[in-house]
Amino acid sequence: MAKATEPMTQGVIWKRIIMFALPIFFGNLFQQLYNVVDSLIVGNFLGSNALAAVSSSGNLIFMLIGFLIGISNGAGVVLAKYYGAGNLETVQTAIHTIVAFGLVASAVVMVIGVGFSPQILIWMNTPDSVMAESVAYLRIYFAGAFGFVMYNIFVGILQAIGDSRHPLYYLMASTMVNVVLDIVLIRQFHMGVGGAALATVISQFLSAGLCLQQLLRTKESYKLCPSKIGFDADMLRQIVRIGLPSGIQNSIISLANVVVQSQINTFGAMAMAGCGAFSKIEGFVFLPITSFALALTTFVGQNLGGKEYERARKGVRFGVVSAVILAEIIGVWVFILAPHLIAAFDSTPEVVRLGTDKARTSALFFFLLAYSNTMAAVMRGCGKTMVSMVVMIGFWCVVRMAFLIITVPLTHSIQMIYWVYPLTWALSSGALFLYYKKADWVHGLD
């Protein structure tokens, strides 16, 4: 088996992609299982209002950290490019600039998240019945910003050089700690949703610490030296040039999802709980999608950096088709089992009905979600992040919000919120397909 840090410019294409994607898949599976257990504990021990409070916070959290994740993705593309080209001195410069950026960004996210969460929740039309619990959850979560921001930074570095195994091990450890702390803090110490947030913060600091230890101890070219952490102006420009569009894309799409959540909130706590329960189930659909998307970004970045253009094309074809097929298989099972899956989180009949309706509206269109996300990942890997940004913002933000603004007031139906997702997945998939077939994307990093 290839070493974890062997460049992806070598070896059998499908094996390299799968061996990179599998640890990410299992890591995301552990993370998703934790999210499910977290919601099960909250829903069954604290009730529907608490589940609604925690569920409705997800879009706001990603809105605030999505920009940083986008920049981190850009940093990973730059790092993968130089690692694939064998330019190890520049790899060192990239790593220490990325870490410096993460430290500064952590402080900014913490201040914004702790200070402005209540006002943003008001803008989201969060019901008074769940407002206090939502604020408590978010403030504790964002107080631990250094943990989740630096975890994403460190994992991005490891994945960019082709190591997806160590992040898996660290995520497994932190997930188990998270579950135990959830039970102890919520059931034994009766800390409510604040206990769920605190458990998440502690586990994220653990996983970030384990990643940091790996970067400090390694003898490879990606070794982190604390004394070298700082900003290199040219490297920062490269990272921002590629990462900024992804960051803007993540933030604006997250803002659109916050708008969607605010529309859901107007239908009450039962709708919030039902849709929140489905979002946990939907997370399993993202397992193959995210796994292959991250694998494709690294694979494309390293191979284009190493001038292996045809190898990059073959890898893209394999990765995209695999993600589409797996996502649709999961979608069929979700469609069939939806009532039982929703009831596991909250057996209130109205919650089950609303969650099932949302699931059965979206599930059979998961192949479009997979195609959009994996092709956007290919665009990131080849440095065409502006293309991905324009397409995804155009359809997942502008069209999505326009559709809701027009249809929901006219129909007063939550079904319009459910249908906006398959609609925008289809439009973005079509646009990215046309660009992929017509444009010269393989020379994006030259």
Count Cβ atoms within 10 A of the Cβ of residue 364 and give its class: 0-12 exposed, 13-18 middle, 19 or more buried. Answer: middle
The answer to whether residues 366 and 331 touch, using CB atoms and an 8 Å cutoff, is yes
DSSP 10: S
> CA 132 to CA 118: how far, in whole Å?
9
pLDDT band at 9 (very low <50, low <70, confident <90, very high): confident
* pLDDT greater than 70 at residue 282: yes
- Name the residue among 445, 429, 43, 10 with its Cα closest to residue 238: 445
Residue 59: per-residue pLDDT? 62
User: Residue 414: CB partners within 8 Å, gap ≥ 6?
Assistant: 264, 267, 271, 354, 357
Mean pLDDT of 278-290: 84
The whole-model pTM stands at 0.77
The answer to whether residues 53 and 117 touch, using CB atoms and an 8 Å cutoff, is no
The answer to whether residues 299 and 315 touch, using CB atoms and an 8 Å cutoff, is yes
Higher-pLDDT residue of 378 and 246 is: 378
> CA 132 to CA 112: how far, in whole Å?
18
Residue 55: per-residue pLDDT? 64
DSSP codes, 121-166: HHHTT--HHHHHHHHHHHHHHHHTHHHHHHHHHHHHHHHHTT--HH
pLDDT band at 330 (very low <50, low <70, confident <90, very high): very high
In the chain, where the domains are located: 13-440
The answer to whether residues 213 and 188 touch, using CB atoms and an 8 Å cutoff, is no
* pLDDT greater than 70 at residue 45: no
* pLDDT greater than 50 at residue 4: no
39: left (phi over 0), alpha (psi -120 to 50) or beta: alpha
Residue 334: per-residue pLDDT? 93
Mean pLDDT of 303-313: 90
Percent of the chain having pLDDT more than 90? Answer: 37
CA atoms within 13 A of residue 7's CA, in its CB half-sphere: 24
CA distances, 264 to each of 28, 186, 257, 416, 442 (Å): 27, 27, 10, 10, 41
Residue 132: per-residue pLDDT? 82
The answer to whether residues 280 and 39 touch, using CB atoms and an 8 Å cutoff, is yes
User: Residue 38: CB partners within 8 Å, gap ≥ 6?
Assistant: 54, 178, 179, 182, 196, 199, 200
Tens-digit pLDDT profile for residues 222-241: 899 999 999 999 998 888 88
Mean pLDDT of 394-398: 91
